[in-house]
Structure 1
Amino acid sequence: MKKRNMLCIKRKESLDVGHLILYNPYKNILSNFMELATKKEAKDFDPVAKVYHGLLSAPPEIREYYEALLGVTSYYQASKGGRGRYIEKKLASSFEFCSLDVKLSQIPFWLTYPAIHRKKGIFTLQGLSASEKKSIRRFHWDWIGEKDEETDLGSVIKNEKVMVLMEIKNRVDSGGTAARREIWTSQKFGVILDHLIEDKKIYRKHEEGEVKDFTFAEMLLHFDIHHLEMYIGILFDITDSPASIDADKRNGFYSSSKEGFNYLLSKMRDSKKFDIIDVDDEKLQVEVRHRLSGITIKCGALYGDEVTEKLFRQRTPVSDLLLLRYDDIWLSQLIAISERANLLKYGKNYTIIFRNLLIKDWNVRKLYDEFITSEGSEEALNNLVEYIIKKHSEIFPSELCSPSTEKDEYLADVIQFLGAVEA
């Protein structure tokens, strides 16, 4: 028997934010896998789909397995499950002054209530308390601008009076040529630059019966921000090692970034609104001073560990973002496929048999509770499986067990899957 490393069997209240951003979507996915494993009606293919996917022409000896494979994997591939924003949420959860989804229109709220903004970004509006939601509704700043824009991450380093805005790319080959270029030009950095060049009033503050309008630069100075940094942060290369500029040149969209960077640099120069302090057009880095406000602005591309260094002012290996490695998804998906195949073929499986056994044997319930209470400890798992094999082995037919796995090992995996769902 193998003790699996299951996140969803752990007590939710004991988890830190970094684990919670995986726990909630994992729990939902596992619950749906369990539905597929125990209910035939959880997935049905219409006649056209059966023909298209080859269900009617699959050999009889593998037909149920193939249908189970299609049903379970199609659900998982269609499920977002928090995958799209995992890296951004992991970064935002790592440092208390970092926040997610920083919109230009919401920057005053972020700077006023950083903890609420961060919490909302990680857990959505549903994760906020009633008083926190009220703070959003009653916030006294209006957005009166026209070109709003959102950046993946932002951090404020108060002792340096710096705001950092960052657009994240997971790998050097993420996105495409146009998407990479547009970060610098028509979107993200380009929009922010337009607000600095145009210097129009885009915020309105209501306070004690008075109303005052602010430009983007004036708003930053109002919150004692004197330095603005904007970066595209690329985390990994195609081998999942920390990204580098050389890897971006070989396998990514460096040339598109350079086009966008050159456009941004030309726009700064042509506007006559900035003094150029420093330029490195190979590393795609520029530093300027906004003449009207005196705010310094850095803009550029970052790779690998440079991302955390600029975002948090400490160089943390980006590889640490991948350290949370759990068995929930791969194990539960494989068990769900096997169990659903048996459900379709025999009308039962180990999961259903075990659930019925829980009703009939108090000792099984007691040992199962000890297993869950211990957060899936190896000792508790062994005690439970050994008791079942000793007392009830005959109700778990060998034909319902994966042919490449011993009965006790397969049963242990089924129990760990179920425990992760029910804990």
Structure 2
Amino acid sequence: MRLRKLLICTEPRNEIEAGLKRMYIKRVQEMFKKTLNMESIFNIFDEVFHGLSQASVVSENLYSFYESLLTITSYYQHSQAGRGNLVAKLLEELGTSDKMEFEFALMKLPQWLGQNIKFEESVLTKQKFDIVNKSNDTLAFCELKMKVYSGCTAGRVELMEKFNKFTKLIIGNQSFRNCIKSAGIRNVFLIGGILFDIQGEPATSQKDEDWSICYNGLLKGKDDIIKTLKDKNIQHKIDEEKLPEKAFLIEFVIDGIKVSIIAVYGNEVIKSLFVGRQKYDIEHFKKQLEEMLYDDLWLAQIITVSERAVLDQNFKKNKNLNNYVISILKNNDILSEVKKFQSNRDNKTLEEVTDRVIEMIKQCDKNLLDISPTPAEIIIKMSGENYNIRDYVADIIQFLSCKVVVNVLQLEIFANDRK
């Protein structure tokens, strides 16, 4: 069994982690709440449409898993608050700028530049960019991919299509150009950036080209932009000298505004984004990012999907609305064991507590361990990891060693019992 890296059980080291911890706690609490009862978000029409009714015909076990999967992931995917905060804050620290914003809607550009005009809404103006940065007389729009395979061909085509639409907009829309020029902007960069290769090292053009199916999407997008420039009779330069940190550069000037469209990799992404005002390189970013990667959310989703399915199976097979989470929360003796791990978080204590908890659960619900394998065991074993019921219970114990999670879940159980 593994000691998981759970931020909800860790003292945050800085403001970024403190904010992230608050968001993780909220999400873990809400997901674990859904393991405590079989209250469904699906009506009869949903059950037919999503195939739940058919799943129950095929197998009740399949239904239990599929219903749990839909319920947990439905909540999680709709809970979007703060998703970009971590990477955004880390990126902001890599350099200095006049202004920087993330997930930026192009329609907001006039207000962002301190102007009172409004763009006419169109396909070309209704775009969003991952990052926009203003530095002196330069405006940089950046679309980021974390790794060379992120989004694959479609992702690269979509990225370059945004740049193509921007190109059409700045060429054909005088008011858009006036907005940029009135803000003192003379240079615009459109940056397609890829940070890491498949091994997590700084990406290079060669590593990207090795994933030819993705790289081809980038080249197709480049050709589309060149076609747009030719169709509009715009003089332009193309630099296709392949360097480790650059695939190509397209430059043109329109109404005194120099536009540079560039596909870059690794550290060159940061260098281009901050337009010469970079403070730290990509290795610094990688180190900061790795220190803030936690197991909370991916593992909580797997565990809660599994526990909700176990709850459903136990009820249908044994008429007992119980699972491992409920068994622990409703038994003070078992909770006392969990608290022993809470005060001494090491592998030896976790193993000892897990074995005692399993034995105590057997006494409370002798049929629970017969519901095997749990969905979590099946899913995690697919990764090649040796994962059994002891590992599963150990993971649940680690989540329930977080006091604020347990407090909320106990209140939820109390409310359920009163219904």
TM-score bracket for the superposition, by shorter chain length:
0.5 to 0.7
RMSD across aligned positions (CA): 4.6
Aligned residue among 95, 103, 106 for 1:104:
106
Quick one: which amino acid aligns to residue 164 of structure 2?
A: G
| Normalised TM-score (structure 1) | 0.65
Partner of 2:165: 191
Partner of 2:262: 300
Aligned residue among 222, 225, 228 for 2:182:
222
Residues of 2 paired with 1:84 and 1:243: CA distance?
A: 29
1:134-173 equivalences under 5 Å are: 140-144=116-120, 146=122, 147-158=124-135, 160-173=136-149
Against the structure 1 CA distance between its residues 398 and 109, is the aligned structure 2 distance closer, same or farther, given a 3 Å change threshold?
farther
1:334-373 equivalences under 5 Å are: 334-336=302-304, 337-338=306-307, 340-342=309-311, 343-344=314-315, 345=318, 346-357=320-331, 371=342
Partner of 1:415: 400
Deviation at 1:84, TM superposition (A): 12
Deviation at 1:23, TM superposition (A): 5.1
Quick one: which amino acid aligns to residue 138 of structure 2?
A: V
Q: Is the 8 A contact 1:68 1:340 kept in 2?
A: yes
1:12-411 equivalences under 5 Å are: 16-17=15-16, 20=19, 24=23, 26-27=24-25, 29-42=27-40, 49=51, 52-53=54-55, 55-56=56-57, 58=59, 66-78=62-74, 79-80=76-77, 86=83, 89-96=85-92, 97-112=99-114, 140-144=116-120, 146=122, 147-158=124-135, 160-175=136-151, 177=153, 180-181=156-157, 183-184=159-160, 187-202=161-176, 216=177, 218-238=178-198, 241-251=201-211, 252-268=213-229, 271=232, 274=235, 276=237, 279-280=239-240, 282=242, 283-290=247-254, 292-293=255-256, 295-312=257-274, 313=278, 314-317=280-283, 319-320=286-287, 321=289, 323-336=291-304, 337-338=306-307, 340-342=309-311, 343-344=314-315, 345=318, 346-357=320-331, 371=342, 378=345, 393=360, 396-397=364-365, 400=368, 404-405=389-390, 409=394
Q: Is the 8 A contact 2:329 2:406 kept in 1?
A: no
Against the structure 1 CA distance between its residues 68 and 242, is the aligned structure 2 distance closer, same or farther, given a 3 Å change threshold?
farther
Instruction: Structure 2 unaligned segments of length 5 or more: list them.
Output: 93-98, 373-387, 409-419
Deviation at 1:377, TM superposition (A): 6.4
Q: Is the 8 A contact 1:156 1:163 kept in 2?
A: yes
Aligned length: 358
Deviations 1:222-268 (A, max 9, x none): 32322211022233445555433223333233233223323423544
Quick one: which amino acid aligns to residue 167 of structure 1?
A: E
Against the structure 1 CA distance between its residues 364 and 37, is the aligned structure 2 distance closer, same or farther, given a 3 Å change threshold?
closer
Residues of 2 paired with 1:300 and 1:85: CA distance?
A: 29
Quick one: which amino acid aligns to residue 306 of structure 1?
A: E
Deviation at 1:300, TM superposition (A): 1.5
Matched, 1:6 2:6: yes
Secondary structure at the residue paired with 1:33? Answer: helix
Deviation at 1:166, TM superposition (A): 1.2
Q: Percent identity?
A: 17
Residues of 1 paired with 2:392 and 2:205: CA distance?
A: 51
Instruction: Structure 1 unaligned segments of length 5 or more: list them.
Output: 113-138, 203-215
Quick one: which amino acid aligns to residue 327 of structure 1?
A: D
Q: Is the 8 A contact 2:133 2:140 kept in 1?
A: yes
Deviations 1:349-403 (A, max 9, x none): 3433443345xx9x969x96995xxxx8628x969x97x969x958655654587
